[in-house]
């Protein structure tokens, strides 16, 4: 059960915002049409180059996406996250920063508009073939 607040929507109907989890934490979310709310923290990998930076301590520890602020039509998400920051002096503090999450997976299924274009192209090819070589 989520208590949520939507902050942005793109042309594809992707909704982003923040939600209160069952444990009482605030997390950023993404909801695509026909799908359930997705906690964006489930998408963060500890192998991301961000966690190899010298000012992040230790790799991946306490990194939490607390809010998704915006989503564009490319599916990129602007998020606010907290993480453990290591200063040059070695002091560690909790930092809050904005990040852009860029999707790495693409859909192998053509979009509806592409289906129409493919169907039209196939119909044209069939019509030309039916006309025969000398009737074009």
In a structure prediction context, what are the per-residue pLDDT tens digits for the chain, which is 136 residues long? 568 999 999 999 999 999 998 889 999 999 999 999 999 988 776 666 666 666 665 555 678 899 999 999 999 999 999 988 878 888 888 889 888 888 775 444 444 444 444 554 445 445 555 555 555 4
Its pTM stands at: 0.66
| CA–CA distances in Å: residue 58 to residues 62, 89, 120 | 9, 15, 55
In terms of domains, do 121 and 99 share one?
Answer: no
In terms of domains, do 135 and 111 share one?
Answer: yes
- Give the span between the Cα atoms of 33 and 112, in whole angstroms: 15
Q: Half-sphere exposure (CA, 13 Å, Cβ side) for 96? A: 3
For 79, other C-beta atoms within 10 Å of its C-beta total 25
- Give the span between the Cα atoms of 87 and 77, in whole angstroms: 27
Domain count of the fold of the chain: 2
In terms of domains, do 25 and 70 share one?
Answer: yes
Q: Is 136 exposed, middle or buried (0-12, 13-18, 19+ CB in 10 A)?
A: exposed
In terms of domains, do 122 and 76 share one?
Answer: no
In terms of domains, do 79 and 122 share one?
Answer: no
In terms of domains, do 99 and 110 share one?
Answer: no
Structural domain that includes position 83: 3-105
């Amino acid at each position: 059960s989520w208590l949520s607040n939507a902050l942005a929507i793109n042309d594809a109907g992707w909704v982003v915002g923040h939600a209160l989890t069952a444990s009482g934490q605030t997390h950023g979310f993404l909801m695509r049409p026909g799908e359930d709310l997705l906690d964006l923290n489930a998408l963060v990998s500890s192998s991301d180059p961000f966690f190899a930076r010298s000012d992040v301590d230790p790799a991946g520890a306490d990194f939490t996406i607390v809010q998704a602020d915006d989503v564009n039509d490319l599916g990129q998400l602007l998020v606010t996250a907290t993480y453990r920051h290591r200063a040059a002096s070695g002091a560690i503090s909790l930092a809050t920063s904005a990040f852009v999450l860029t999707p790495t997976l693409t859909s192998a299924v053509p979009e509806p508009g592409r289906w129409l274009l493919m169907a039209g192209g196939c119909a044209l090819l069939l019509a030309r073939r039916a006309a025969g070589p000398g009737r074009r």
